[in-house]
Chain A
Amino acid sequence: MIPAFGLVLGVVLGLVLEPTVPAALQPYLPIAVVAALDAVFGAVRAQLEGIFDDRVFVVSFVSNVLVAALVVFLGDQLGVGGQLSTGVVVVLGIRIFSNAAAIRRRLFHA
């Protein structure tokens, strides 16, 4: 429950504070969000399978975000930032879908 509260708190904070994204972070924020979503879906799947580990989640969350941002940063430096961010989003999207499928099988046995 507490993680769910944390999520709600973050959303509310974002709605209330209405911050603007710093220009330097603009290319990385959407990728970081997608990477974090991937970590969250993986965590939910692990929880349902009973192998959830808080420590693993924290590390995977942070590393996912950092690696995604790093890949996009490298891509920008190499001049293929657009293509690489598309690639990152595709890979993370595939992982999110497979995790969501596993969660679905666990929850609905279908």
Chain B
Amino acid sequence: MNAPMSSPLRRLLTPRLRRVDLAVAALLAVLGFAAVVQVRSTQEGGPLAAARQEDLVQILDELSNRNDRLRAEVSALNQARAELGAGGDRTAALAEARRRTQLLGVLAGTVPATGPGLLLTITDPEERIGPEVLLDALEELRAAGAEAVQLEGPVDLSVEPSQAAAGAQVRVVASTALVEGEEGGVVVDGVALFPPYRFVVVGDSSTLASAVGIPGGVVDNVEQRGGSALVEQQGEVRVGALRVLKAPRYARPAPQPGD
């Protein structure tokens, strides 16, 4: 211990073998060991491993609080979902939408229609009844409140109208066009119809019947051309012909003020 003070560094680095040196070395070994162990455990366990008990308790408290809040949120959302799923408003809205679809389908000709109405059967033995006569009849029927119309031909006149298996059937809608056929008859929306023709009309049957029967009306017109027009009022007629709806290429629904 009486070494010169001029070279303390050398003394530090010079090997000396004494028992106390070994004790110092052992202590330093313990220090290195403990430091490495502590560093490893801190790295392995993440931040929680080094945290103290109080801190852990606090963290646990916060976590359980957060858990409770999230649980409450989950139950509230579940309740909202159940209400939305079983809500009366939603069901009613859906039923209303279905009903409107059906009504519009009748107008557009995409669903069959049935109801009171009449059958207007037109024969044309002299082949003088062209599309203009049928168009007149159609306009007359529409003006009298026809709600669903189908045009058939040729009709087998030998059987009852209710059982008649007509030749061709065309649902008459807003865009329906009637033109003269090349081989006689009438072409309705691309379907060739031949006499005798029959209109199947759903509407107020008495109004419809009086509309076609007025003097100078459809019946007179047909009889002037050598044909016959037979009007049969029915308690229930069925308009079964359908047409496929084409999606409009250019027209889009415009926003309405009420929407």
Q: Which A residues are within 8 Å of any B CB, using their own CB? A: 1-11, 13-15, 18-21, 26-27, 29-30, 32-33, 36-37, 40, 43-44, 47-50, 53-55, 57-58, 61-62, 76, 79, 81-82, 85, 106-107
Contact = CB atoms under 8 A, between A and B. Distances in A.
Contact of A50 (B8, B14, B40): B8
A36 B28 CA distance: 8
B34 A33 contact: yes
B234 to A, nearest CB: 95
B24 A10 contact: no
Interface of B: 1, 3, 5, 8-9, 11-18, 20-38, 40-42, 49-50, 52-55
A80 B151 CA distance: 98
10 contacts: A6-B25, A11-B33, A14-B32, A14-B35, A21-B37, A21-B41, A57-B27, A58-B23, A81-B52, A81-B54
Nearest to A13: B33
B20 A55 contact: yes
Contacts of B8: 47-50, 106
A11 B38 CA distance: 11
A54 B37 CA distance: 26
B34 A36 contact: yes
A26 B21 CA distance: 29
A81 B14 CA distance: 42
Nearest to A32: B34
A2 B54 contact: no
Contacts of B1: 53
Given A6-B24, A82-B54, A1 B13 contact: yes
A42 B14 CA distance: 19
Given A14-B40, A21-B41, A81-B54, A7 B20 contact: no
B206 to A, nearest CB: 98
A44 B28 CA distance: 12
A67 to B, nearest CB: 15
A50 B33 contact: no
Contacts of B28: 3-4, 6-7, 10, 40
B29 A6 contact: yes
A11 B37 contact: no
Contacts of A19: 37
Contacts of B17: 2
A99 to B, nearest CB: 15
A14 B24 contact: no
A13 B1 CA distance: 32
B31 A33 contact: yes
Question: Which 3 pairs between the two chains have the least Cβ-Cβ distance?
Answer: A10-B32, A6-B25, A14-B36
Contacts of A58: 20, 23-24, 27
Contacts of B24: 2-3, 6, 43, 54, 57-58
Most chain B beta carbons < 10 A, residue from A14, A18, A19, A76: A14
